[in-house]
Amino acid sequence: MDNGPFMNRRGFFTASGGISIAALLAACGGDSGSDTPAPASTPEPAASAAATTAPPAVATPKFDPASETGEIKIFEWAGYEVPEMWDSYLKGPYNATSPLKFTFLENDQQALAKVASGVQYDLIHPCVAYWPDYKAAGLIQAFDPSLLPDYEGIPAPVRAGGVDADGLIYHVPFDVGFSTLVYRADKVDPAELSWNVLQDAKHKGRMSLFSDDVSIIKIGHLINAGVPVNPNVMTSEEIAASMETMKKVAPNLRNFWGSQTDTVNDFVNGNIDITYAWPDGYWKIKNHEKMAGVPIEYMWPREGRLAWVCGLVLGSQAAAPGRATAAVAASNTPAVGAWLTDVYQYGSAQQNGVTDLIKDKALLTAFSLDDPTAFAPPRAWFEEPLPNRAEYVKAGQEVKASAGA
Amino acid sequence: MASNVEIPRAAEIGVRVRREGRFRAGQRLSTFGLVGPTVIALAIFFLAPLWYIFEFSTGQKWVAPNDAAALISGELTSISGALWSDFFGDGVIIELMPNLGDQGAAHVTVPAALIGLLFVVLILAAVMGRRLVPRYGGRVVGFSFVALLVPFMTLPAGDHILRLVQLSSESTDLRLFFKSVSMATTSSVIAVLIAFPVAYYLAFCVTKSKYTWLLIVITPFLTSYLLRIFAWKVVLGDQGLINSGLASLGVISADAPLTFLIYNQFTVMIVLTYAWVPFICLPIFIALENMDRRLLEAATDLGASRLRAFAKVTLPLAAPGVVAAFLFVFIPSIGEYITPSLVGGTKGYMFGQAIADHFIGGAFDWQGGSVLALFLLTVVLFLTAATSKFLRAGGGTA
C-alpha cells in the first residue's frame, strides 16, 4: 500500500539504494578504470611531481631559500617539536614567513603509509631503513648539501646510509641509539649476557620485547648465531630459522610492548625483570624512584647490540625546499646534538665536538658515547635498508600470532 | 438521494490530485531529508571503504594509482585465492580437553568447510528450531545453543585457560580466529549473566528513580576507555592492588604474586567483560521494562511457580534484549585490538591485532589484512542476520 503520508518501505529502500550506489560510485570514481592497468604515459600526481621537482639523476639540487615562501610542515616524533631542536632556524630570517608546523608520527610504518596515501609533508623523520621506500615511491627529493654546513660532522659510516648510489643526500641522520636489553643485574647471571637469555626458562614470564617484527627476527638470528653476525643481511632460510627460535622464545615473554612507556612502567612496577629498550627507556628505569637500590644494567650481549639511525628527509613536493633544508641544518648543529643526549639520552649523529658540549658527562660513559668502537660492528649492528623487509615482517608477525594462538 | 450527491467537477479533481501529489512529494523529500544524510554517510564512510577492502582482498581489480600507493598495496598481482586457502588451512583440529596434553584427550581433523557448514546449520537450528521441528523445537534450540557455545567457553585455570573442547588449525590466522571467538564468546556470556540480574532488579524491584539508578549503573562510561584499561593494569599488576592486598593479608608471599592476573587471555576477558556490562544493562532493561506485567500475573494465576514463570514468560520476552546485549559485546570483542594490546601479553594476542599488523606492519600487506578483515565481517554479518529474528520484540517466543 502506498496510502500513507510517507513512502513505503520498498520505495524507500529502492531510492536509498540508488543513492547509496551513486555515492559509492562517486567515492570509487577515481578507481573506475582500474580494471585495466593505468597507461604508462599518464603518470599520477606523486610520480609526476617527483619527475618534475626531483633533480636529474646525478645533478646536485640547488635551492634558493631566500626566494621561497610557505610554512614548513614537519612529520616528527613527539618530543622533537621543542624549540631547542630548531633553535637557530627559529632565530633565523625564515621563521617569520616559513614557520615550522608539526604533526606527530607513531612509528616508521605508520609514517610511510600515511605519506604514501597522499598526505604531504615537507620534512619527515624516518629511520634509515625506510627512506629508500620513500624514494622509490617518489615521495622525497635530495637535499642541497650547500645548505647543510654541519653535515660533514656526521661520521662517514653513519652518513653513508642516507646517500643513494648517485651520491645524492636523501636522509640526514639526526639521532642514533642502541636497542638492547635492560635487566636487573641481581636476577641475571653475568654469564648470560647474551640475547640467548631470552631462551632461559628461569626468566619465563619476566621478560618483554618490542613488538617490531623486524627486531624480533634480528634478535632470533643473533640467538641462533651465538656470535656477532650482521642481522641486516639474512637469507630466507635464516629468517625461517630465526622465526622458529623466536616461536620458542615467545612463550617466555610476558608481552610484546608497543609503547616504551608501557614497558618502563611494567619494569618499575615489578611485572618484568628484563626488557628491550632504547637508551631513554633504560635511563628512566635506572633512575626511577621505585628502582632505588636495584642494580639496573643495559646489556651488551656478546652477539652485539642492535642500533638505529633516524633522520630527516625532504618531501618531494615541498613548497620551500631550501628553507626546509635550513631547518634540517638547524637540527644538525653540535649544540642540538648535545641537547639531544642531555635530554633524551640518545646519541647524536652529529659528532663534531658534541661530547664536549654534553653537560651530563655520566651519559658519555653510560652509553659509551666517547667510545668509537661502541657504534660499529661487532659491538653494535646499526639498522640498514632491508631489500627483503617483507620477509622479516611476515616472519615476525607469525611469531607474535603463534605465541597468542 | 442520489441527486443530492455532489459530483466534483473535473477541474476540482485535478486540483486535488495535484495537491496530493505535491503533498506526497513533500513527504518523500522530508523522508530523505531525515534519513538521507545517514544513508549517504554510510555509503561514503562504510560501504566505500568496504569496497576497497574487498578489492584489496581479491587482488584482481586493484591497480595502484601511483608508485606511492603501490608501496602500500602489497603483492596485488596474483589472485588471492591462495591467501584465502592459506587462511583456512588444511583442516580444523577438534581437541577434547586440550589442557590434558599436547593433543588433549582426543583429537580429530576435519575440513574447514565442514566445520563452517556445521556452524551455519547450528546457528540456523538455534534460530529456526521451533519452526522446523514443531514438537521438539525447544530441545533443538537448546542443543544448538549449547553446541555453539561449549567449544568456545573458557574457564580461568591458573596461568592458563581451561577449555573442554578447542578448535584449532595448522593455519595460524584461523587458530587466532577461533581463539578470538572463544574469548569474545566467554566475555559476552559472562557480561550478559552479570548484566541480566542488574537490569532485572532495576526493572522489577526498583520503584523510585529507576532511571537515575540506570544512569549510575552506566557511570563508568563517563570515563575514557583507555583510562579504565590502565586502571585494570594498576589493579591486576604483580605489585597491583589485588596482589598487594593479598600479600598484606598474608594469603600470598610478596615475592610470589599471582602472575596470571595480568598479560594473558584471562585479563583480556576480565577487561572486556567489565567494559561492556554497564552498557548492555540498557537493552536488557528496556526489554524487561516494556514487558506486559499482566502476563506474569496470568502465569502465576495458572499455577506457575516464580521460576517457571521466569523461564516461560520473562526470559522469552527478554530475549531480544539479551540477544542484542550478547551481540553488543561479541561483535566489538571479536575484533578487539586495543585491549589485548595493552593487557593481553603474548598469550592474549587476538585476531584484530593480526589484522592491524598486516595493515600497519612494515610489509604493508593490505591484501592479507583485507582477507582477514573480510572474513571477520562475513562471520559477524551472518551471525547478526541469523539472530536478527531475536532482536524483534517477541522474536524469542517463535
Q: Would the CB atoms of A271 and B52 count as touching at under 8 Å?
A: no
Indicate whether B249 and B319 sit together in one domain: yes
Q: Would the CB atoms of B365 and A390 count as touching at under 8 Å?
A: yes
Q: Would the CB atoms of A269 and B237 count as touching at under 8 Å?
A: yes
Instruction: Give yes or no for a contact between A307 and A380, defined as CB atoms under 8 angstroms apart.
Output: yes
DSSP letters, A29-43, are GGGTTTTSPPPTTS-
Average pLDDT, chain A: 86
Considering only CA atoms, which of A262, A237, A234, A279 is closest in space to residue A383? A234
Q: Using CA atoms, how far apart are residues A38 and A376, in angstroms rounded to an integer?
A: 46
Indicate whether B12 and B99 sit together in one domain: no
- Which pLDDT belongs to residue B151? 87
- Which pLDDT belongs to residue B65? 54
CA atoms within 13 A on the CB side of B90: 4
Indicate whether B264 and B334 sit together in one domain: yes
Q: Of B122, B155, B170, which residue is a domain's last?
A: B170
Asked if pLDDT for residue A301 goes beyond 60, the answer is yes
Q: Using CA atoms, how far apart are residues B169 and B224, in angstroms rounded to an integer?
A: 37
How far is C-alpha A229 from the geometric centre of its chain's CA atoms? 22
A22 versus B45: the higher-pLDDT residue is B45
Comparing CB atoms, the residue among A254, A265, A389 nearest residue B345 is A254
Mean pLDDT, each 10-residue run in order, chain B (398 residues): 62 82 84 86 86 72 56 51 81 85 78 91 85 81 88 84 87 92 95 96 90 88 89 92 95 90 93 93 93 92 92 90 93 94 93 90 82 91 84 52
CATH (domain of B328)? 1.10.3720.10
Residues in chain B: 398
Strand extents, DSSP E, A70-110: 72-77, 100-105
Indicate whether B161 and B250 sit together in one domain: no
Please name the residue of chain B whose CA is at the shortest distance from the CA of residue A251. Answer: B346
Q: Is residue B193 part of a domain?
A: no
Query: What would the mean pLDDT of A376-391 be, rounded to a whole number?
Result: 91
Comparing CB atoms, the residue among A23, A254, A405 nearest residue B175 is A405
Q: Using CA atoms, how far apart are residues A113 and A75, in angstroms rounded to an integer?
A: 12
Cβ neighbours of B237 in A, within 8 Å: 266, 269-271
Indicate whether B108 and B245 sit together in one domain: no
Q: Is residue B20 part of a domain?
A: yes
Q: Is residue B85 part of a domain?
A: no
Query: What would the mean pLDDT of A229-250 be, rounded to a whole number?
Result: 97
* Other CB atoms within 10 A of residue A119 CB: 13
Share of chain A above pLDDT 90, in %: 73
Q: Would the CB atoms of A404 and B349 count as touching at under 8 Å?
A: yes
Q: Would the CB atoms of B365 and A398 count as touching at under 8 Å?
A: no
For testing the chain A interface, which of B39, B346, B364, B366 should be mutated: the one with the most A CBs within 10 Å? B346
- Which pLDDT belongs to residue A40? 32
For testing the chain B interface, which of A3, A7, A10, A20 should be mutated: the one with the most B CBs within 10 Å? A20
User: CA torsion sign, A220 to A221 to A226 to A232?
Assistant: negative
Q: Would the CB atoms of B23 and A394 count as touching at under 8 Å?
A: no
Considering only CA atoms, which of A21, A274, A36, A357 is closest in space to residue B63? A36
Q: In this structure, are strands A140-141 and A253-257 parallel, antiparallel, or unpaired?
A: unpaired
- Which pLDDT belongs to residue B55? 73
**Interior angle at CA B284, CA B279 and CA B288, nearest 5:** 145
Q: Is residue B65 part of a domain?
A: no
Please name the residue of chain A whose CA is at the shortest distance from the CA of residue B46. Answer: A24
Q: Would the CB atoms of B47 and A24 count as touching at under 8 Å?
A: yes
Q: Would the CB atoms of B68 and A138 count as touching at under 8 Å?
A: yes
B101 versus A310: the higher-pLDDT residue is A310
Q: Is residue B79 part of a domain?
A: no
CB pairs under 8 A between A and B: 192
Indicate whether B271 and B389 sit together in one domain: yes
Indicate whether B110 and B16 sit together in one domain: no
Q: Would the CB atoms of A213 and B362 count as touching at under 8 Å?
A: yes
Q: Is residue B76 part of a domain?
A: no
Indicate whether B142 and B269 sit together in one domain: no
Q: Is residue B292 part of a domain?
A: yes
Share of chain A above pLDDT 70, in %: 85
- Which pLDDT belongs to residue B4? 60
Q: Which of B330-342 are b and which e, b meaning 16 or more Cβ less than 10 Å from the residue's Cβ?
A: bbbbbbbbebbbb
Q: In this structure, are strands A305-315 and A253-257 parallel, antiparallel, or unpaired?
A: unpaired
Query: What would the mean pLDDT of A194-216 be, rounded to a whole number?
Result: 96
B217 versus A46: the higher-pLDDT residue is B217
Q: Give chain B's domain count.
A: 3
Q: Would the CB atoms of B360 and A109 count as touching at under 8 Å?
A: yes
Considering only CA atoms, which of B259, B241, B237 is closest in space to residue B249? B241
Range of the domain at B135: 90-170
Asked if pLDDT for residue A48 goes beyond 50, the answer is no
Indicate whether B158 and B103 sit together in one domain: yes
Asked if pLDDT for residue A37 goes beyond 50, the answer is no
Indicate whether B24 and B161 sit together in one domain: no
Query: What would the mean pLDDT of A121-146 be, rounded to a whole number?
Result: 94
- Which pLDDT belongs to residue B67? 62
Cβ neighbours of B68 in A, within 8 Å: 46-47, 115-118, 137-139
Q: Would the CB atoms of A397 and B63 count as touching at under 8 Å?
A: no
Ranges A70-74, A390-394, B24-28: which has the least confidence: B24-28
B51 versus A320: the higher-pLDDT residue is A320
- Which pLDDT belongs to residue B114? 92
Comparing CB atoms, the residue among B179, B237, B363 nearest residue A405 is B179
pLDDT band for position A318 (50/70/90)?
very high
Structural domains of chain A ordered from first start? 60-176+308-380 (3.40.190.10), 177-306+384-404 (3.40.190.10)
Q: Is residue B61 part of a domain?
A: no
Indicate whether B268 and B354 sit together in one domain: yes
* Residue that has been written with the C-alpha cell 652529529 in this structure: A350
Cβ neighbours of A213 in B, within 8 Å: 357, 361-363
